[in-house]
C-alpha cells in the first residue's frame, strides 16, 4: 500500500505526451496555451496531462495575473526517478544521520521552542521539509494512524494540525487512504538538502 505513490509516479511519467511536457518545462515555466501550441495539442488535453503530473508532485503552478504558469520541480523529478533503486536499503539510518547535520539542527533550533512546540510553520520548502521530518520522527513505519490519532500527535507541536497534516501528504511524508494515514517509505520522502 505504501508503494502506491511510487507506482503512480511511474505511471504518470510513462506517457509520451507527459514526457514531452516535462521536456518543455525543463527549459523554463510555460502556461497551458503555450504548451498546447508547442505540442500541437488541444488545451483540454494539456490540462489532463498537467493534472497527472501535478498529482505526483513534479509540476507545480503559480498564478501571475490571470495566467497560470507551470513549473517543473526538477529536484523532486530526479529524486522520484532514483527512489526505486533505493527501496529496501537501510535509509532510516541515513535519514537520522542527516538530522545530525548542522544546517538541519540550526533550522530545528530556529523553528522549535524550548518546550518542543513549533513556533511557526516555515514558508520555505526546504526548511518546512526539515521541520516536517522532525515532527514525525516518533511515528512508526508500517503502522496505520487514524486521523484523530495523527491530529493529536501533531497538536503536541502546533495547533494548526490540519495544515501540517496536509503538508505531510503533499510532501509525500505520509500516505492517506479512507481517513487512515501511514508513513511512506523514506525513499519517497523529499530530499532534505
Q: What is the CATH number of the domain that holds 39?
A: 1.10.10.10
Domain tally, the chain: 2
Does a structural domain hold residue 171?
yes
Does a structural domain hold residue 118?
yes
Does a structural domain hold residue 193?
no
Give the least confident one: 96-100, 121-125, 182-186: 96-100
Task: Note whether 104 and 160 are same-domain residues.
Answer: yes
Strand partners, 8: none
Task: Note whether 150 and 72 are same-domain residues.
Answer: no
**CB burial of residue 175 (10 Å; 0-12, 13-18, 19+):** buried
Report the alpha-carbon distance of residue 58 to residue 169 in Å, rounded: 14
Q: What is the mean pLDDT of the chain?
A: 84
Specify the pLDDT at position 101.
Answer: 66
Q: Which runs of E-coded beta strand occur in 147-189?
A: 174-177, 180-183
Strand partners, 118: 112
Task: Note whether 8 and 71 are same-domain residues.
Answer: yes
Full domain range(s) for residue 54: 4-78
Task: Note whether 118 and 157 are same-domain residues.
Answer: yes
- pTM more than 0.75: no
Amino acid at each position: 500500500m505504501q508503494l502506491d505513490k511510487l507506482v503512480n509516479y511511474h505511471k504518470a511519467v510513462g506517457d509520451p505526451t507527459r514526457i514531452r511536457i516535462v521536456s518543455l518545462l525543463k527549459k523554463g515555466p510555460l502556461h497551458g496555451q503555450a504548451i498546447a501550441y508547442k505540442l500541437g495539442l488541444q488545451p483540454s488535453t494539456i490540462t489532463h496531462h498537467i493534472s497527472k503530473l501535478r498529482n505526483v508532485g513534479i509540476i507545480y503552478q503559480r498564478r501571475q495575473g490571470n495566467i497560470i504558469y507551470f513549473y517543473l520541480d526538477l529536484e523532486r523529478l530526479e529524486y522520484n526517478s532514483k527512489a526505486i533503486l533505493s527501496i529496501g536499503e537501510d535509509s532510516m539510518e541515513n535519514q537520522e544521520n542527516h538530522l545530525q547535520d548542522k544546517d538541519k539542527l540550526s533550522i530545528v533550533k530556529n523553528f522549535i521552542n524550548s518546550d518542543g512546540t513549533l513556533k511557526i510553520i516555515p514558508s520555505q520548502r526546504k526548511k518546512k521539509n526539515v521541520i516536517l521530518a522532525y515532527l514525525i520522527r516518533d511515528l512508526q513505519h508500517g503502522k496505520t494512524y487514524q486521523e484523530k490519532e495523527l491530529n493529536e500527535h501533531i497538536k503536541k507541536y502546533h495547533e494548526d494540525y490540519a495544515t501540517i497534516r496536509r503538508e505531510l501528504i503533499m510532501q509525500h511524508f505520509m500516505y492517506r487512504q479512507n481517513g487512515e494515514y501511514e508513513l511512506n517509505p523514506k525513499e519517497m520522502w523529499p530530499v532534505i538538502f
